[in-house]
Structure 1
């Protein structure tokens, strides 16, 4: 007699790593959350021709749904390392879930933040790990802020200045991804980039002229209407104007005359408001098929009849990677600007209000990955460490310094102090430096 297959957790509970009661047709958690409850389809096997008599105590087996073939054929991902050809009898959970580390009880409270790629595909539920609603929650400091000296605050501003110079020199930095504007810089970013380049290479004779140009361009940018595009292109428009305005404000706040600095201060509320709008746009982001997310040859490749599974996997992974770098740009830009504005207020007023920030992807190497395949491999091999940016002490106690991205360590140094970060680094092999 054939054994009744063991019921697996539904995709929603498995994707968020929550306990599933495995009730049919829907688990209680999905009913409470008012979301579709979809269970992984069992593998199809040859069945005995003799029907098994159903006993009252037997578990009800999952029946084949009429749309199961269409669902399985829509899956975009395959396990590249071990599957030479697509196996449509295997559910996506069988492919993805083995890569997801099980968090230790000590890490309770960050389960969804450190999960792996617990997703179905770019366009289905549950959402990718970086689009979960709880990752956009504004978190605040859980402890009393450390007493920062003026030297330490100046060091943080110096680190941000170095990041801006890196953008001019290398084309990217810790919050502006090297592929973010690969299809062309928006006009506002072009103006900010050229202004920053001129400022970086300034001479005393032209410094005041450059600051005046920055002031006039910032004023013109503030008068522009808010982005109206939807989807990923709308998010990119928000990120563009926020990053451009930040360049102008940063230059004038920390290196300008009294008049220029006062002009920049008047634009801080505008910048903060734009940051909120940018974050809200990122939070509304869905894993949809958007033109911005498609590779340059997407349309051509999909038109080829009989295209291999590699093409399907490549397109799906590329879209997912671009969606991540776009939303991660929102997160990092938000965190950086909040830190700089709070630093300025502390230097000028002696205190600053903690407005809270969202989560960041802290895993070292993900931001620097220059291809979708590298990013996907790193995300699948280890937990991506999508962690609350403001919970520095908690994260430092759980992860080694060499696991954490430089940008995140810089921000945590701003929260807990350079000495604590240096001690954290010294506990490891000391291969990373405190910046």
Structure 2
């Protein structure tokens, strides 16, 4: 990969951020004479003289990832750890203050309905919050790195509010590939969904997630090459027609994207960005599963013989997994497009979203336990993110991990913790 003379000089000298950018906790483009920020703000641009050269190199500003139309600049990539789960919203609070998030409705019922989700300049950095070693992805329409304005105290409250609604969910999404391997489930994929039949797409992503758990510096390139081969096979395979295979394709694609987005590898992130437009059509393909009419089983399910109840249970597992997958796709898609400084637009709104809030039904391991939970435990059908009845009448043990993610995104982490505590549980 070709590098510009400036990029070569920076790698040779080990040059890092200038003192003014370090002090302001802003990304520095490391200009040879003076960085862009100092030039614009007429500041004295000085670089530390005792910087140690980084052992990791990154593509130069002139390098281009094929098919992704992304220009990538970087000094190095941090190894990600648990601290990465806390997104640094403070750096971008002044960018957020001109936009109204409301209750963070990502389904399209308000600001997404038939329109666009406004882009947020500079928000991509939230996935990799380190100032000095974070890669900078510049959108195709940009010719220069967009530097967010200086944070002022008047916007810090808004930034904290946004962070309180999204940090928790992003932390849970980052752990999903591991959960799939260890527990054979995700918050939107029932552990028994593929008990009888596991489509090829789900077999491949399961193997990819398992292989990814063993990734280290030595085998990283091999593992990502394997994952990319499986992604290409998924994307180029014929469109499935069976409901289970349609759902498996969408769930597999989400898992691949979660691996590539949160790992921190530059190439993987570029590949994820290139493929993200596929998420929406894969999501809409679930509508046929969700909208197919189901017979109302009534308040009591037959316990003997269990044949009819087992058929109802299997149908519920498929459709509830599809409903949850449909909604989490919009959650992921809306959040990621914000971070990528894009506008999320579409020609038509999604169908009305529903899902069942009941940990007892979701965690039932046998048809007997499902029938008993259906009869004895309350379950709440959540329509279009309306949690009024749930928050008024539910108990803490009624809410599974999926419900926790969406409740926090609606009311914020502090209120969610308070609600769970008053209902006999902990978040």
**TM-score, scaled relative to structure 1:** 0.55
The aligned counterpart of 1:181 is 194
| In structure 1, distance between residues paired with 2:225 and 2:260 | 9
Note the 1:5-404 alignment, pairs <5 A: 140=109, 148-150=161-163, 153-228=166-241, 234-284=242-292, 286=294, 313-349=305-341, 358-388=353-383, 390-392=385-387, 395-404=390-399
| In structure 1, distance between residues paired with 2:387 and 2:342 | 22
Q: Which moved more, 1:419-428 or 1:355-364?
A: 355-364
Post-superposition shift, 1:239? 0.8
Change (3 A) 1:408 1:379: same
Change (3 A) 1:155 1:404: closer
Residue 359 of structure 2 aligns to a residue whose secondary structure is: coil
Post-superposition shift, 1:286? 4.7
Change (3 A) 1:139 1:368: farther
Post-superposition shift, 1:212? 2.5
Asked if 2 retains the 8 angstrom alpha-carbon contact of 1:140 and 1:390, the reply is no
The aligned counterpart of 2:77 is none
Change (3 A) 1:333 1:315: same
Change (3 A) 1:282 1:258: same
| In structure 1, distance between residues paired with 2:358 and 2:283 | 24
Change (3 A) 1:346 1:140: same
1:208-242: CA deviation from partner (whole Å, max 9, x where unpaired): 322232222212211112122xxxxx211111111
Q: Given the alignment, which residue of 399, 405, 413 partners 1:410?
A: 405
Residue 362 of structure 2 aligns to a residue whose secondary structure is: coil
Post-superposition shift, 1:351? 7.6
| In structure 2, distance between residues paired with 1:266 and 1:224 | 18
Asked if 2 retains the 8 angstrom alpha-carbon contact of 1:153 and 1:414, the reply is yes
The aligned counterpart of 1:419 is 414
Unaligned runs of 5+ in 1: 1-137, 229-233, 289-308
Unaligned runs of 5+ in 2: 1-106, 112-116, 118-157, 297-301
Asked if 1 retains the 8 angstrom alpha-carbon contact of 2:356 and 2:381, the reply is yes
Asked if 2 retains the 8 angstrom alpha-carbon contact of 1:211 and 1:251, the reply is no
1:130-152: CA deviation from partner (whole Å, max 9, x where unpaired): xxxxxxxx77369xx98654575
| In structure 2, distance between residues paired with 1:394 and 1:141 | 21
| In structure 2, distance between residues paired with 1:325 and 1:219 | 29
| In structure 1, distance between residues paired with 2:253 and 2:243 | 16
| In structure 2, distance between residues paired with 1:157 and 1:392 | 21
Post-superposition shift, 1:389? 5.2
Q: Which moved more, 1:241-250 or 1:332-341?
A: 332-341
| In structure 2, distance between residues paired with 1:364 and 1:181 | 19
Residue 382 of structure 2 aligns to a residue whose secondary structure is: strand
**TM-score, scaled relative to structure 2:** 0.56
1:102-137: CA deviation from partner (whole Å, max 9, x where unpaired): xxxxxxxxxxxxxxxxxxxxxxxxxxxxxxxxxxxx
Asked if 2 retains the 8 angstrom alpha-carbon contact of 1:188 and 1:221, the reply is yes
Post-superposition shift, 1:248? 1.1
